[in-house]
Structure 1
Amino acid sequence: HLLPMTHEHYRTWEAHDRHRLIDVMTSGGVAPEVAARDAQRAQRALLPDGPSTPGMAFHRLLHHGTSVGTLWLRLDGAPRPEADAWVYAVEVGAEHRGNGHGRTLMRAAENVCLLAGRRALGLNVHTGNTPARALYASLGFRPAEHVLTKPLL
């Protein structure tokens, strides 16, 4: 079952998402203190009213009464012109991966967007996230842009 996040679930999710973002930034070479500051700023900028921020939708997926994953959608536009809705975050708990929950969450994202009148859903995925890239390709997502970086030493 896909359920909207309660404020309590949102607070737990928000802290977890901030740590996930910090990990992504530090793995790319950003200093931990800079990553922590930038992650907090990014969350504040995107979610000034937390779970009540207009245009945002937060859900959690339950399987047999257990929360197995979360979904954060933007329904009032996207950071890319190819889409009018955006998946900012979709995550299945490590202990629940490999059971089709990611596919369920992404299909649910499509349904939520269609019900909101959206016609194109976009997302960003890191190159090294092979399982997610395979899932998205199997669901019909196609690359729109490749961003390259090079550390300057």
Structure 2
Amino acid sequence: MAQVSVRRMTTDEFEERMGAIAREYAAEQVAAGRWERDGAVDRARAENARMLPKGPATSRMLVLRGVDEDGRPIGRAWVGLDHPRGAPGVAFLYDIEVVRDRRGEGLGRALLAAVESAARDAGAEALELNVFGGNAAAIRMYDAAGYAVVTQQMRKRL
């Protein structure tokens, strides 16, 4: 497996990435039929600002930059140490991504393992996440990493 470590994201890195995170999250919500397209990016930005009022220094949040063995940035992750629905001891992975030009190198699994280690070091006993049903590559990665389905939402277009 590729060697990846994580560190706290700097304020500059955070500011640079938050626009992209909001756009990507909004697109996922629209594609899943959960949000209307109009206003989706603004809604995502507002949610992120509410959850991360102090940016990467927000208490009980791990806003991380993944780096390879040479210290080059390869991705990002965002973990809340308090589960959004209050599950005790369970952290929640809000975002994880390998930069586009480094995909296919096995860095996703290595980044996920580094994020899990950081969450465990911060006191988490488990890590939960949401993955959209159309993201087959991510589903395969999480399955291979030992994640199990604990809830499942299903929808049929009428």
Q: Same fold (TM over 0.5)?
A: yes
| 1:56-135 to 2 correspondences below 5 Å | 56-63=61-68, 64-75=70-81, 77-80=82-85, 81=87, 84-135=90-141
Contact 1:73 1:88 in 2 (8 A): yes
Asked if 1:28 is matched to 2:32, the reply is yes
Unaligned stretches of 5+ residues in structure 2: none
Alpha-carbon contact 2:32-2:132 (below 8 Å) kept: no
Please report the RMSD computed on the Cα atoms of aligned residues, expressed in angstroms.
Answer: 1.8
Q: Which residue of 2 aligns with 1:2?
A: 6
Aligned with 1:122: secondary structure? Answer: strand
Percent identity over the alignment?
Answer: 29
Match of 1:19 among 16, 20, 23: 23
**Stretches (4+) displaced over 6 A:** none
Please report how far the alpha carbon of residue 149 of structure 1 lies from its aligned counterpart in structure 2 after TM superposition.
3.1
- Secondary structure of the residue aligned to 2:38 is helix
* Residue of structure 2 aligned with 1:48, choices 53, 58, 64: 53
Which structure is higher in RCO with an 8 Å CA cutoff and minimum separation 6?
Answer: 2
Given residue 60 of structure 1, which amino acid in structure 2 is its aligned partner?
R
TM-score normalised by length of structure 2: 0.86
Runs of 5+ unmatched residues, structure 1:
none
